[in-house]
Amino acid sequence: MPVSVAGRQSAYGDGMKNKRTTIAIPTTYVRHLLSLAGQQGVDEPFVLDAAGIRRIELDADDGHIDFDRCDRLVSIILKQTGDASLGWQLGMQLNLPSHGALATAAMSSRSMEESIRVSERYLATRYPLLSVQLFQDGDTAILQFDEVVALGVNRVFYLDAFIASHQVIRRFLYGGSQTVLEIQLACECPRHHAALDFDGAVLNYGCPANQFRFPAQYLSVPLPTADAITMASAERQCRKMLDSLKLETGLLQQVLTFMRSRENVIPSLEQTADHLGMSPRTLRRQLQEYNTTYRNLVNQERKRLALYFLRNTRLTVEEIAERLDYNDPSNFGRAFRKWTGCSPGHYRESQDEKAV
């Protein structure tokens, strides 16, 4: 199915802050992070105490630590080590068994596409900070990874860990062959990326969404580790884990996915509620439970689309304002200055200068 010109970047913002304690990170990943930090001289008891994590909590192999405290731990370790590439190192250190039943289900799938579909369904059991979605644009397959919770100042750390871990898995399944030709990231280029090995993939930054892009023909490639019996068993385990975690990220994900499926036309509250099978009043009330409103989500989408149009099209400011449903271009200008600190015209000029 064709991808809309804006992509489907995740932008949950502050509305997800009160959900940070309901999202849990496997203790396996936390132990790996502490191992890396220890190699750089970090005092484990000190950082655990500062993050509010008891060492006994890490002893259970199938245990989890809430994201709020994990994120605090990441901040403390990054500050102590000064190593911006720590997320990448973490992802590269995580071999396939580190990902538990999810890795087993992915490895034993019949093809790359089936393996990715498994991740779509069960990524939350191992890495609930992101959700993934596979779609196609002509001959190009696109695996998009969206934020499920606001990642804050450590966003690059978590994206690096995911990209590196994905690279480790690809190397194992395809013997190091280059299957991802392009990586698009919705952040500016971190300085430490210049020293990282992305297996020859081209990286583009400041994009509307985080995506791996590769030839769609790879989707049908059979996996050498395919095993239907193992796959069925591993998927049952994943399903049980997903049910037990009871993640509370469904509504916002559904709202934003619907918003981004409308070819750059932001739907009204009434249209979205109808799509979700609920009344507008119910949708408002449920969004309030996430400390956000439909208007806040619309404004996030407007900002994302505005930045994309100014960077990637020659639409006039007036045309962009109209597409974003502003009755007066001056209102769009005021909103844009509030988002970025500069006018739409100045922003476009600065992007043109960077391109030169």
41: domain CATH number is 3.90.1520
Same domain for 112 and 224, yes or no, is yes
Residue 263 is predicted with a pLDDT of 54
Final residue belonging to a domain, choices 215, 244, 273: 244
Tokens of 174: 């395809």
Half-sphere exposure of 189 (CA within 13 A, CB side): 11
Same domain for 192 and 258, yes or no, is no
Final residue belonging to a domain, choices 181, 211, 244: 244
Same domain for 220 and 286, yes or no, is no
Q: Pairing mode, if any, of strands 202-204 and 182-184?
A: parallel
Same domain for 49 and 186, yes or no, is yes
Same domain for 319 and 233, yes or no, is no
Which string of DSSP letters, residue by residue, matches 190-248?
-GGGGG---TT-EEE-S-SS-EEEEEGGGGGPBPTT--HHHHHHHHHHHHHHHHHH---
Same domain for 185 and 330, yes or no, is no
Structural domain range at position 129? 13-244
Residue 281 is predicted with a pLDDT of 95
Same domain for 95 and 197, yes or no, is yes
Same domain for 143 and 272, yes or no, is no
For residue 306, which of 285, 329, 276, 278 has the smallest C-alpha distance?
329
Final residue belonging to a domain, choices 202, 220, 244: 244
Number of domains in the chain: 2
Residue 68 lies in a domain: yes
pTM of the model: 0.68
Same domain for 224 and 108, yes or no, is yes
Residue 256 is predicted with a pLDDT of 74
The total number of residues written for the chain in this structure: 356
For residue 74, which of 90, 61, 60, 95 has the smallest C-alpha distance?
90
Same domain for 310 and 343, yes or no, is yes
Q: What's 350's domain CATH number?
A: 1.10.10.60
| 74 class by beta-carbon count within 10 Å (0-12 exposed, 13-18 middle, 19+ buried) | buried
Residue 117 lies in a domain: yes
- Tens-digit pLDDT profile for the chain (356 aa)? 233 333 443 434 444 444 554 678 999 999 999 999 999 999 999 999 999 998 888 887 778 888 889 999 999 999 999 999 999 999 999 998 999 999 999 999 999 999 999 999 999 889 999 999 898 888 999 999 998 888 999 999 999 999 999 999 988 887 655 577 899 999 999 999 999 999 989 999 999 899 999 999 999 989 999 999 999 999 999 988 887 664 444 677 678 767 766 655 788 999 999 988 899 999 999 888 777 899 988 988 888 788 888 987 888 999 999 888 898 999 999 999 999 999 999 999 887 766 55
Same domain for 269 and 190, yes or no, is no
Same domain for 31 and 121, yes or no, is yes
